[in-house]
Amino acid sequence: MSHTGHDAYLEGRVLSADPLELVGLLYGGASAAVRQARRSLADGDIGGRSRAIANAYDILAELAGSLDRARGGEIGERLLSLYDYMQRRLIEANLEQADSPLSEVLGLLATLSEAWEGVHAQAAPAPPAAEAWDAPPPADVESATHAWSL
């Protein structure tokens, strides 16, 4: 397997990403895999479709596995249920060779990604170093970010 410039760039992004950014990268990777699955389905490429669906499934499994269930509370439990649902829809899409489950998963990933970008944007502006120890993060950002143990 060759290591392309894009692979090296992506590897660098992953290695330098903070936990919030990693979740966003995983959502992007899952979305890209589902889009590839849809293209492969339309082209009649069974192997390509199956590989892309497996890739999206694995990313969702990584997201589910990274949830900190003790600290994530209700948000974490809901995300876990949603990841499970999306994985089941991916399996259905592969077995039935159907686009509608892929379309649904892509829409759910877009919604999650958009919401996560909002969380990341709220958390991004860090206070100056002297104030960083004095000010806790906003409550909504804290509850969302504690759902992950990355």
The structural domains of the chain, with segments of one domain joined by +, span 18-117+127-145
Helix-then-strand count for the chain, H and E: 7, 0
* pLDDT 10s digits, 60-112: 999 999 888 888 889 889 999 999 999 999 999 999 999 999 999 999 999 99
pLDDT computed for residue 84 by the predictor: 98
User: Is residue 48 within 8 Å of residue 36, measured between CB atoms?
Assistant: yes
Region 18-117+127-145: CATH code: 1.20.120.340
| Predicted model pTM | 0.74
Based on the number of CB atoms within 10 Å of its own CB, is 104 exposed (0-12), middle (13-18) or buried (19 or more)?
Answer: middle
**Reduced to 3 states, what is the DSSP secondary structure of residue 3?**
coil
- Give Cβ neighbours of residue 98 (< 8 Å, ≥ 6 apart): 92
User: Is residue 68 within 8 Å of residue 146, measured between CB atoms?
Assistant: yes
